[in-house]
Structure 1
Amino acid sequence: MRCPRLRPNFRTRPSKGPLGPNIVGQTIEFAYAGAILKGKLTSFQADATIAGAAGTYMEYRSFYTASTGADVGVPVGNPSVTKATNTTVTFNVDTNAATLRYYYVIPEEARGKAVTITFTAKSGDGESISTVMGPYTIAKMDMKLNMKLTDNNAMYISIADTAVYNATDAAAHAGSIDLVYLYRNLTTSAFGHALVSPAADPVYLPGVTLPAGVNRSTKELKAFNLQDHNLAPTEQYGGIFIDDIDFQTIDLSNSPNYAINMKGDAGIWCQTADGTYKAYIFFNSVATSGTATVSMKRYKLK
């Protein structure tokens, strides 16, 4: 039986790091390898069912690992050209084997949908062979990293806007303020760092005068040992990911509208008063100076 002239081989995703949900704005990395028994390769191309966002490209260098462990790229073609859903590298050297990396930047148009990538290798005699990869489900959720909170200043959080406001700006966005950050070092109770709904009992907002119109009640559920790797991208917490299904299934209907005594590496599940969003807010770090850094995953319910 005649052996195929082109022998494709594929690896999807980076070879290092855990695999998590595909989120708009992130990059899916592929390594596309092809070899030909006779003649030479003329092009590699990738065709996506949904055009990638700006920054989508295919490497024109074939990489090998040096004795030092470093990746070394050897140019084998012209820089890739992307037109709509197609990205192509045209070879300009005489080679019968290459491995090129393809980076697909997930676009907004793919949110909540599935993307399929077709890889094609072509040879000098006009022969070609294609392999379809996927489909890859794109998450409906999105995320915002490293939002800086400061007690008595940048303390008003809008889940809808994925933003943090001071009192003046919060008054201008009163209808979208979901949470208030504050830090209290009390001797009567373990209060510490807190995210509290504006509509919570004032006992949970000691010393806070809310801007006019800031009055929403957000459901909150504290979570510990849930260090999502997208929000806490360290090797220590690799392998745990919050995905769409988690937002779809978690029940916050009986949750309170405050969360106090929060620690670094802890988190809070939230649901906005209008039922539009669920979110998971993770405390990347906290300080006794009354500051914190948080990151958020957000899922739109309607």
Structure 2
Amino acid sequence: MKRKSIYFNYIFSLVVVLLFAVGCTKNKEYAIPTPKDVLQNNVIKRTLGPNIVGQKIEFAYAMAILPEKGKLVSAEVEASISGATGTFLENKSYYTDGGGVDVGIQVGSASVTTATKTKVTFTKDTSAATLRYYYVIPEEARGKTVSFTFSAKSSDGESVSYNVGPYTIAKMDMTRNITVSDGNLAYLSIADMAAYNATTAASSPDKIDLVYLYRNLTTSAFNHALVSPAADVAYLPGITLPTGVNRSTKIIKVFNLQDFNLAQLQYGIYIDDLDFLQIDFSTAPNYAINLKLDAGAWVETADGKYRAYIYMNAVNNTTKSATISMKRYTLK
């Protein structure tokens, strides 16, 4: 016996609106379209910005068939490149309640991934659903493109598919929430995308590109700073560098560039691969002082191998520390 809950009826109405375009003019009264009597589907990509290795691309896959014709049997997604661990097709169908909150109702078994394919088998008697697909971008896809084929089957023997893509996968890397502290985790490696103390820095001096320090000076606005080890000693007051730490890194300080991926706030600015290639470092200094919350710095390493954008997520004058996030692009 078919389960005709109000939730599934509501979901079906939403999917119908999604799947069927409505033509109207100022002189014609709006009318809900009459759904076709065949299995229908559609896909929306929910995530924005660059597609970065290790991050997720999220899709919403809607499918529907008239209740009198049958019910949904299965839904499947095939990627042109196998997703990394954590890739899955959610077995809940979502609708948005009156308060704008997404509500999920389980309609199938947990998804099963085999190579490039991820599948959900429906366990509830429903004729409409919107499932979410999360694709974790693998290292194999870096700098390439990836496409997806969504498909569904219904109990009356119908099948339908929807192709999306190709989507370009960025060459850049990203890491977030690195803690740096004056006199401790003060030595920053762009190659490793990590901060080290003096002992660790001395063991790999060729990897250290920047020194983080905080100084509350009365003669100048120094505060939080990222300084090249080879900078004038005036920009490294009180610092004794570990043996061999001597690289000259180019730095461009910027404000009001709150990258959405790094800031993780409401900002909608995205730094993409092309941005790293367009920055002109020809006259850049090798220090950036007076860095504040939400400030940032473009960086090019001494060997010309990497460019990076470093964002100040948090600063603490009392503990002389900061939290930074970084996007990095490999030039060679």
**TM-score interval, smaller chain:** over 0.9
> How far apart, CA to CA, are the structure 1 residues paired with 2:232 and 2:92?
61
In structure 2, the partner of 1:140 is 171
Where 2:201 maps in the other structure, the secondary structure is: helix
* Aligned pairs, number: 294
Q: Secondary structure at the match of 1:126?
A: coil
Deviation at 1:68, TM superposition (A): 4.7
For each residue in 1:30-51, what CA deviation from the matched residue of structure 2 results, as whole angstroms up to 9, or x when unmatched?
A: 1111112312221110000011
> How much has 1:26 moved relative to structure 2?
1.3
**Gaps spanning 5+ residues in structure 1: where?**
none
What is the deviation of 1:239? 1.1
Counterpart residue number, 2:42: 9
The residue that corresponds to 1:168 in the other structure is: 199
Residue in 2 aligned with 1:292?
Answer: 322
Instruction: Write the letter of the residue equivalent to 1:301.
Output: L
Equivalent position SS for 1:29 = strand
CA distance in 1, matches of 2:105, 2:255: 47
- Residues 154-193 of structure 1 mapped to structure 2, 5 A cutoff: 154-193=185-224
Answering whether residue 106 of structure 2 is matched by residue 106 of structure 1, we say no
Identity of aligned residues (%): 65
Which residue number corresponds to residue 53 of structure 1?
84
Larger Rg: 2
The TM-score, its normalising length taken from structure 2, stands at: 0.85
Give the Cα–Cα distance (whole angstroms) in 1 for the partners of residues 95 and 259 of structure 2.
Answer: 32
**For 1:287 and 1:61, how far apart are their aligned partners in 2?**
42
Q: Distance in 2 between matches of 1:4 and 1:252?
A: 61
CA apart distance, 1:125: 3.5
More strand, by proportion = 1
- Shift of the alpha carbon at 1:69? 4.1
- Provide the residue aligned with 2:93 in structure 1: 62
Match of 1:76 in 2: 107
**How far apart, CA to CA, are the structure 1 residues paired with 2:220 and 2:126?**
71
CA distance in 2, matches of 1:105, 1:276: 27
Structure 1 stretch displaced more, 48-57 or 30-39: 30-39
Q: Deviations over 1:162-182 (max 9, x none)?
A: 010000011011110000011
Aligned-residue offset at 1:218: 0.4
Q: Report the Cα offset of residue 253 of structure 1.
A: 2.3
Query: Is 1:301 equivalent to 2:321 in the alignment?
Result: no
Deviates further, 242-251 or 34-43:
34-43
Deviation at 1:157, TM superposition (A): 0.1
Q: Any unmatched runs of 5+ in structure 2?
A: 1-35
Q: Are residues 112 and 4 of structure 1, via their aligned partners in 2, closer, same or farther at CA, if it must alter by over 3 Å?
A: farther
Pick from 176, 180, 203 the counterpart of residue 149 of structure 1: 180
Query: How many angstroms apart in 1 are the aligned matches of 2:330 and 2:216?
Result: 35
List, as ranges, runs of 4+ consecutive aligned residues in structure 1 with deviation greater than 4 Å. none
With normalisation by structure 1, the TM-score equals 0.93
CA RMSD, Structure 1 to Structure 2 (Å): 1.4
Write the mapping of 1:78-97 to structure 2, written as runs, cut at 5 A.
Answer: 78-97=109-128
Residue 281 (structure 2) pairs with residue 252 (structure 1): yes
Query: What's the counterpart of residue 309 of structure 2?
Result: 280
State which of 126, 137, 141 in structure 1 corresponds to 2:157: 126
Matches of 1:187 and 1:36 in 2, distance apart? 72
